[in-house]
C-alpha cells in the first residue's frame, strides 16, 4: 500500500448539495476508516468549507480514484476538481519525526 493525497475543490454555490450528501459521506468514511490516514474539509479565510483533503492508503493511483469515485460526495457531483497524487510522509508530528 502507498499513501495518496486527494485534493477536491468544491464548485462555487454548492453548499446545499454538500450538506445533503454529508450523512452518506460520513457513513462511507466510517465504513472505510482503516484506509484513511487523515481527512477533513478545506476552509477559506471566512471559515466556509470549499473542498476536501484526504490522505489514504491505496494500492495504486487507479485504486485511489476508485475509492474517491465510490464516495457519496463524488456521486453528488459538487466537486469542481479532483487531484490525486502519491504522497510520501517524510517529516512531522504525525509520523513521529522524520524519515532521514
- The three-class DSSP label of residue 58 is strand
Instruction: Give me the torsion for CA of 26, 27, 32, 38, rounded to 10°.
Output: 10
Whole-model pTM: value is 0.91
Q: Are strands 36-43 and 49-58 parallel, antiparallel or unpaired?
A: antiparallel
| pLDDT one-digit tens code per residue, 41-81 | 999 999 999 999 999 999 999 999 999 999 999 999 999 99
- Which cell numbers hold the place of 72? 457519496
| pLDDT one-digit tens code per residue, 23-46 | 999 999 999 999 999 999 999 999
CA distances in angstroms from 85 to 1, 21, 48, 97, listed in the order given: 14, 25, 25, 22
Domains of the chain, each with CATH number or no CATH: 2-89 (3.30.70.1060)
Give how far the C-alpha of residue 10 lies from the chain's centroid of Cα atoms, to the nearest Å.
12
Q: DSSP readout, 4-22?
A: EEEEEEEPTT-HHHHHHHH
Amino acid at each position: 500500500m502507498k499513501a495518496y493525497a486527494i485534493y477536491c475543490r468544491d464548485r462555487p454555490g454548492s453548499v446545499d448539495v454538500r450538506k445533503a450528501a454529508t450523512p452518506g459521506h460520513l457513513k462511507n468514511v466510517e465504513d472505510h476508516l482503516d484506509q484513511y490516514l487523515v481527512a477533513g474539509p478545506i476552509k477559506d479565510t471566512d471559515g466556509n468549507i470549499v473542498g476536501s483533503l484526504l490522505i489514504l492508503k491505496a494500492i495504486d493511483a487507479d485504486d485511489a480514484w476508485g475509492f474517491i469515485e465510490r464516495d457519496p460526495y463524488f456521486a453528488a457531483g459538487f466537486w469542481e476538481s479532483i487531484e490525486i497524487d502519491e504522497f510520501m510522509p517524510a517529516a512531522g508530528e504525525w509520523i513521529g519525526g522524520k524519515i532521514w
